[in-house]
Amino acid sequence: MIAPRGGPRPWPGRCGAGRRVVPSGRRPPREGGRSRSAASQGSRLLSVPPAKFFVNRGVVASRTDIQHLLRPLLKQTVTYRYLRGRELVAHGTGWVERIVLDDPEASTYFTPISVCINIDSFEHLEFETRPDQLLVYALVQGDERVVIEYAPIGADGPAAPFEPRQLEFDTSGFVQMELLGPEPTEPDR
């Protein structure tokens, strides 16, 4: 029996009355019970590269990975340096208020009061571990980068160069004066 064109057809190579009819474009199962497509899928699964991993440093382009790496900075005080090329454009210390993903309406901003990071504003994140086991992050977009470091305020040890300090005002060149008005008079009785 030969099937009409486009319909089920006999599998070539099998003879006699025991021929199997399979749908067009599909192969019959192999002798071991697995089809050739299942065997080829198994070899394809083995060829899929494993997920990337990083130890203490790396460059990450996945938005989800960037979000996971930045999450410990949420609600923390950080120092930031904004560089264009090799030129330091701005720097400061702020508190990370928000880390945003998938919200094109939210802007990225760094101010001394608050920091909001929209991950979609950047191409990738570079990170490395400092000797004191804290991370340094660099959010990169073209030739611009914002370097962010955790800033433990009040910790012992040398102060960070951009750590906020109490405003110092030298009063040695000023004289304090009191202005006195007329003496109050006692009312007559």
Neighbours of 57 (CB within 10 A): 11
Higher per-residue pLDDT: 71 or 33: 71
Degrees, nearest 5: CA angle 25-48-71: 130
For residues 169-188, average pLDDT = 75
- Where are the domains positioned within the chain? 57-150
Q: Of 25-34, 42-51, 125-134, 162-171, give the lowest mean pLDDT range.
A: 25-34
pLDDT for 118-161, tens place per residue?
A: 999 999 999 999 998 899 999 999 999 999 998 866 655 555 55
Q: What is the dihedral of CA 154, 79, 97, 53, to 10 degrees?
A: -110
State the pLDDT at residue 184: 73
Neighbours of 60 (CB within 10 A): 19
Whole-number average pLDDT of the chain = 77
State the pLDDT at residue 43: 53
State the pLDDT at residue 185: 75
Task: In whole angstroms, give the CA distance from residue 137 to residue 150.
Answer: 9
Pick the CATH number of 57-150 from 2.60.120, 2.60.40, 2.70.180, 1.20.120: 2.70.180
Share above pLDDT 70 across residues of the chain, in percent, rounded to a whole number: 65
Q: Is the dihedral of CA 66, 72, 75, 81 positive or negative?
A: negative
Nearest to 162 by CA among 177, 173, 147, 176: 147
Higher per-residue pLDDT: 169 or 99: 99
Nearest to 143 by CA among 182, 185, 85: 85
Task: In whole angstroms, give the CA distance from residue 151 to residue 101.
Answer: 24
| Per-residue pLDDT band at 64 (split at 50, 70, 90) | very high
30: pLDDT strictly greater than 90 = no
State the pLDDT at residue 189: 61
